[in-house]
């Protein structure tokens, strides 16, 4: 899988969160995104959506926090029920994910989990462009923080 190394951040993600792990992802992540679409994010900077993976307890087999949200313009006090997480400036492996969603994204994550990238396990995120629809076939980006 092709990727490029890019520098991103700092950025702030405002949204809703769930604490989970990959063993329970199928039962915890879809309801989080359903809630995100239902409630919306009032403090967003743009129409881009972000799935931020943070607060890792170890490698990809351990618990982490997923924030379904949007990039905020500045650090701010989130509205009730929302959280804000900072992603400090760092280097990321950027993978452009194309193809049938969500299978194309799962294939990209599985490739990452095979230790093809030296991860920092600090902050990783999926960036969905404004207007993204799972049925559109439009590309999205996966950013994996590297050491």
User: pLDDT of the chain along its 147 residues, tens only?
Assistant: 999 999 998 999 999 999 999 999 999 999 999 998 888 776 666 778 999 999 999 999 999 999 999 988 777 777 788 899 999 999 999 999 999 999 999 999 999 999 889 999 999 999 998 878 788 778 999 999 998
- Strands across the sheet containing 4-8: 4-8, 90-97, 140-146, 119-128, 49-54, 64-72, 11-20, 83-87
Q: Which residue has the tokens 């095979």?
A: 114
The answer to whether 2 and 95 are in contact (CB under 8 A) is yes
The CATH architecture of the domain made up of 4-146 is Alpha-Beta Barrel (3.20)
**C-alpha–C-alpha distance, residues 33 and 118, integer Å:** 28
The pTM for the full model equals: 0.93
């Amino acid at each position: 899988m092709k990727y490029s190394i890019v520098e991103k951040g700092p950025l702030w993600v405002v949204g809703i969160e769930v604490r989970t792990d990959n063993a329970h992802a199928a039962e915890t992540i879809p309801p989080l995104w359903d809630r995100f679409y239902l409630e919306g994010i009032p403090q967003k900077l743009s129409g881009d959506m972000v799935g931020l993976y943070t607060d890792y307890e170890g490698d990809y087999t351990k618990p982490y926090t997923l924030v379904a949200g949007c990039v905020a313009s500045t650090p701010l006090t989130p509205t009730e029920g929302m959280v804000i997480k900072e992603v400090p400036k760092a280097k990321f492996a950027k993978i452009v994910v194309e193809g049938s969603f969500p299978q194309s994204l799962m294939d990209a994550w599985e490739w990452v989990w095979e230790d093809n990238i030296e991860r920092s396990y600090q902050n990783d995120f999926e960036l969905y462009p404004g207007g993204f629809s799972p049925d559109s076939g439009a590309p999205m980006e996966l950013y994996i923080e590297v050491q």
